[in-house]
Structure 1
Amino acid sequence: MIGALDVSTSALVAQRTRLNTISGNIANISTLQDENGDAKPYQPRYTIFQTDENMVATGNAPGVKVSSVEIDDKEPLYRYQPDHPLAVKEGKWKGYVAYPNINMNEQFVDALEATRSYEANIGVMEISKSLGSQSLSILA
């Protein structure tokens, strides 16, 4: 039973990281400059999970952990705004401003999926806790 709690806890931590990554993407949907002030749009991030063989529950069910948070190298979205101070000055995109290529609908669906997974793991933990409590009351 403790293994089931450990596996669910690992999933909660992983989904929290995923939600933090998604919220960072949404928060930076209009960020046009990097930390140095250069005209470089924010690049969205995404979370990669992997099984955690060090955490195994009954029935050899492994836990999960965050393998990495990757930067998406999508081409930015360009909008023609020649008077904008961050507009490209020369080349193919002259007069265009580069915006982050973040699909808000995709981010919301990912956040909803992560939230549902988070809730499901809390449900598993509640059931495990209830089973343990009932087992102890039977033995007492």
Structure 2
Amino acid sequence: MSMFSIFGVSGSAISSQAQRLNVVASNLANADAVAGPDGQSYKARQVVFQTVPLNDPGSAGVKVQTITESQLPGKRVHNPGHPNADAEGYVTHSNVNPVEEMVNMISASRSYQNNVEVMNTAKTLLMKTLQMGQ
């Protein structure tokens, strides 16, 4: 693996983690959402990663393969006076767990930061190599 392929590996990871952070932000924004007129509530989304080969033999990056929706049922709260209550008086909330999403956000943020640090270290090493040649 060449020194330049490090930028490809870390760059793909940074891009993927940025998408993961966007999905987490969307989940957190809809954590308190209730079912709409169609009776469907917001469903938490999760990012699924996939390994992809890069141009340099022996190196691989990562990309977002798909974004899936959780099939867990939303929390049902008995509130007959709510405008979105069903015939039984229940309001269906989203199935987003804010605690899990915060953990997911911290994990994605740290992965993003680690890959930025890898790129900065590789850049510093390349600059030192160039300085040695002067």
Q: Same fold (TM over 0.5)?
A: yes
Instruction: Give the Cα–Cα distance (whole angstroms) in 2 for the partners of residues 33 and 95 of structure 1.
Output: 13
Q: Is structure 2 residue 100 aligned with structure 1 residue 76?
A: no
Q: Any conservation in 1 of the 2:35–2:94 contact (CA below 8 Å)?
A: no
Where do residues 17-96 of structure 1 align in structure 2 (5 Å cutoff)?
Answer: 17-34=19-36, 37-53=37-53, 55=54, 60-89=58-87, 94-96=88-90
User: For residues 111-130 of structure 1, what are the structure 2 equivalents within 5 Å?
Assistant: 111-130=105-124
How far apart are 1:33 and its partner, in Å? 3.9
Aligned residue among 13, 38, 41 for 1:11: 13
Could you tell me how far apart the structure 1 residues matched to 2:117 and 2:23 are? 23
What is the alpha-carbon distance in structure 1 between the residues aligned to residue 92 and residue 10 of structure 2? 41
Gaps of 5+ in 1: none
- How high is the sequence identity, in percent, across the aligned residues? 33
Partner-residue secondary structure (3-state), 1:100: coil
Count of matched residue positions in the alignment of Structure 1 and Structure 2: 132
Unmatched 5+ stretches in structure 2: none
User: How far has the Cα of 1:29 moved from its partner?
Assistant: 1.2
CA distance in 2, matches of 1:32, 1:16: 27
Distance 1:104 1:10 in 2: 27
Alignment of 1:90-105 (within 5 A): 94-105=88-99
User: Contact conserved, 1:7 with 1:57, CA < 8 A, in 2?
Assistant: no
Residue 12 of structure 1 and its aligned partner are, at CA, apart by: 0.2
Q: Give the letter aligned to residue 4 of structure 2.
A: I
> Separation in 2 of the partners of 1:81 and 1:117?
41
Q: In the alignment, which residue of structure 1 is the partner of 2:126?
A: 132
Q: Displacement, 1:108?
A: 0.3
Deviations 1:20-77 (A, max 9, x none): 000000011122245xx42321011000001011x1657x231000001111111110
Check whether the contact 2:12–2:61 (CA below 8 A) recurs between aligned residues: yes
Q: Which amino acid aligns with 1:132?
A: L
